[in-house]
Chains A and B, each alone.
Chain A
Amino acid sequence: MDAVTPLVRVQEAGFDLAAETARLSEGRVDVGGIASFVGVCRGDDGLSALVLEHYPGMTERALTKIAAEACARWPLTGCTVIHRVGRILPGEGIVLVLTASAHRAAALESCAFLIDWLKTGAPFWKREEFTGGGSRWVEAKASDDAASARWQLGR
C-alpha cells in the first residue's frame, strides 16, 4: 500500500460530502469502508451565524500533523479534513472529516480520533452572532479536552 497523503484544506467555501467521499474510493478497489463526520452549525438561542477565525499557516500545519498521526495509527487508504473559516450560517457544515480503510474499525476509530483532536489541537476560534445584534466568543470546553485526552491512553 502506498503511503497515504491526507487531504487537508482550510477554506471559506462550503464542501460537498458526496464529492469528497467519492474521491476516496475512485479508481481503487482496496477500500472497504469510509467513515465521515460533518460538524454542522446549530441555530440555538437565536444564533444567526458563527464566525470562524484561524491562524493562517499554523492551522494548516496543525491539521496536517493530526491527519498524519491518524494515518500512522490506523491502516488508512485515505483521509480528508476540510475546515471552514469565516461566516457560517445555521444548518451549514463547519468541518468535514473522512477516513477510508479496508475495514470499518480503522475508519470509524480514526474518524473519531480526528474530530476529537482537531477540536483541541488546531488554532480556530468561534464567535457567535445573534439575531438582534450582539456577539460572543465561544469558550473552550473541558469535555473537549477530555475527549481528546482519551486517545493518549492505550494504543
Chain B
Amino acid sequence: MKILYFAWVRQRIGLAEEEVSPPAEVRDVAGLVAWLATRGPGHATAFADPRQVRAAVNQDFAPPDAPVAPGDEVAFFPPVTGG
C-alpha cells in the first residue's frame, strides 16, 4: 500500500511517501491511521488528533470508514486551503 503525506502531515512525519504492509485487521482509513500512528514519534505527532487529518483513497476524498486494501494509494493531509 502506497501512503502519501502532504503539508504539515508530511512535515511532522518527515516523509512525502512510504510503502507499507499493514496487518490484515486494518480494513479502513480510521484503522490505517491508528496503525500508522504507531510507526514512530513523527507519525504519532501527525496523527495525534485524527479529526484534523483528511484522507483520500486512490485520489478521491475518503471518510474514516472508507475501506482500504493492499495496492491502494492512500493520502493524508490537513483540510484543504486552495483558491
Contact = CB atoms under 8 A, between A and B. Distances in A.
B3 to A, nearest CB: 13
Interface in B46-83: 56, 59-61, 75, 77-83
Contacts of B8: 137
Interface residues of B, number: 16
B83 A58 contact: no
A53 interface: yes
B78 A123 contact: no
A122 interface: yes
Contacts of B60: 58
Contacts of B80: 119-125, 140
B81 A138 contact: yes
Interface residues of A, number: 27
A57 interface: yes
B52 to A, nearest CB: 9
Nearest to A37: B83
A115 interface: yes
B77 A119 contact: no
A52 B4 contact: no
Interface of A: 39, 52-55, 57-58, 61, 83, 94-95, 115, 118-127, 137-140, 144
